[in-house]
Amino acid sequence: MERSERVEQFKADIAEMGVKDPAAARDRMLLRGSVVLLVAGPVLGIIAYTMSHGTENPLQQRDAIIVALIGLSLAVGGGALFVRYALASFMRFWLARLCWEQQAQTDRVVNALESRGASVDARSSQTVTAP
Amino acid sequence: MSEPSLSPNGSVPTEPAVPLLELRDIWAAYDSINVLRGVDLVVPEGSVVAVLGPNGAGKTTTLRVAAGLHPCAAGDVLVAGHRVNGARPDELARRGLCLIPEGRGIFPNLTVRENLWMMSHCRRSLKEIEATAFERFPRLKERQTQTAGTLSGGEQQMLAMARGLATEPALLILDELSMGLAPIIVEDLYRLVASVAAEGVSILVVEQFARIVMDVADVAAVMIQGKVVQVGPPKELEETLSQAYLGG
């Protein structure tokens, strides 16, 4: 295969890959899912209330209790997911900042040691040249 | 549709060529220790780019990020203009991005031929692979039934390169080709790298021993403490390099 053809094929293959950022996409999807669950929980609760309020049949009222419990579970689960994925981005930022500060601190220490080494060298050369 | 405007000399201006590999502001870490701190590097199509620098500068990590073997904490890896952050390394390799790692990455318990057979997954027949490999490296033909672990360091490196070139790479990434080899063998290997580059393969090479790659590279980048501090023609970087290595 000609070299230029090979390069063109390579470019086409890479373009076909269509790589997305899988982690970010999943995080975003789960965050949105958690919001949906958070909304769905109370909605189910309200539906359960209207169900139980509109009937005197104890069987239907028990059904309403079950629907309300499902709504509560969804709301709790959604809340947990929301906290997890809303915090994740903040935690990532916090970690990046920590890394940066650690690196900056290392740079300061290295600079301090270098300048200290340079001053010691200068002093020792003065001592040698002194009569 | 509007006519394309002409440049002052009357020719139609061409789009700037998209580099085959581009690293933009790459940050990468091992656990909480940052190794790369905003690396920018460009490998134009058909060129040889050498990354030079002392031990611990982040050269190998840069290559690993480029090949998809190490995730970057921030920044973009662009191959042929497409962002490939998060792409699986085997996917990139199958498409033509070939990394020959430090330590050669051959199967020591397999023979030379069997090592070459392992590359027959990539669109080429075994015969073709062997023909190309043995033409480039006649020494390997003599050793084809020998287990790779018993080859000399230079021969192992030849085998690693033969395996890499069997994939017909569009972009070849070489990590410390000279590691543990005699200077005369290294010269031979770099002569081969020059011939591969002359065929139009883009090459990104990391080398601790800078002098060796100076003649082969079109562009050199000096890395110190996880950053590219200077990029330019190799001859112009000698002073920066001596400062990098000697701390002067």
Contact status, residue B132 vs residue B100, Cβ threshold 8 Å = no
Q: Which residue from B32, B97, B199 is facing A3, i.e. has the nearest CB?
A: B199
3-state SS, residue B7: coil
Measured between CA atoms, the residue of chain B closest to residue A107 is B225
User: pLDDT of A44-53, one tens digit each?
Assistant: 999 999 999 9
pLDDT exceeds 60 at position A22: no
Which residue of chain A comes nearest to B197, CA vs CA?
A: A3
> How far is residue B67's CA from residue B90's CA, in Å, rounded to a whole number?
9
In this complex, which of B20, B34, B97 lies closest to A103 when CB atoms are compared?
B34
B202-207 vs B171-175, strand pairing mode: parallel
Listed residue (B226, B218, B221, B174) closest to B51, CA to CA? B221
Contact between A14 and B80 using a beta-carbon 8 Å cutoff: yes
Q: Supply the ipTM of this predicted assembly.
A: 0.71
pLDDT at B224 exceeding the cut of 50? yes
Dihedral of CA atoms B231, B165, B81, B74 in degrees, nearest 10, equals -70
Report the distance separating Cα A90 and Cα B214, nearest Å. Answer: 45
Amino acid at B123: R
For residue B14, what pLDDT band results from cuts at 50, 70 and 90? Answer: low
B98's CB contacts (< 8 A; 6+ apart) are: B164, B165, B167, B169, B171, B172, B173
Helices (H), chain A: 3-17, 22-53, 58-129
Q: Does B200 touch chain A (CB under 8 A)?
A: yes
Q: Which two tokens stand for residue B3?
A: 């006519």
**Given CB atoms, is B84 within the 8 Å cutoff of chain A?**
yes
Phi/psi at B186 (5° precision): -60, -40
Query: What CA–CA distance (Å, rounded) separates A44 from A75?
Result: 10
Q: What CA–CA distance (Å, rounded) separates A128 from B132?
A: 64
Q: What is the pLDDT of residues A60-106, one digit of tens each?
A: 999 999 999 999 999 999 999 998 888 876 777 777 677 777 777 87
pLDDT of B189: 87
Q: Could you say which of B37, B80, B200 has the minimum Cβ distance to residue A4?
A: B200
The pLDDT assigned to B173 comes to 93
**Which structure tokens are listed for B136?**
């480039």
- Nearest CA among B245, B171, B239, B179 for reference residue B212: B179
Tell me if chain A has a CB within 8 Å of the CB of B37.
Answer: yes
In A, minimum Cα distance to B98 occurs at A10
Task: Tell me the count of A-B CB pairs closer than 8 A.
Answer: 66
Cα–Cα distance, B21 to B19 (Å, whole number): 5
With CA atoms as reference, the chain A residue closest to B85 would be: A21
Least confident of A10-14, A17-21, B232-236: A17-21
Q: Tokens 């900056």 correspond to what residue?
A: A104
Handedness of CA B119, B122, B127, B130 (dihedral sign): negative
**Which residues in chain B (167-196) have CB-CB distances under 8 A to chain A?**
168, 170-171
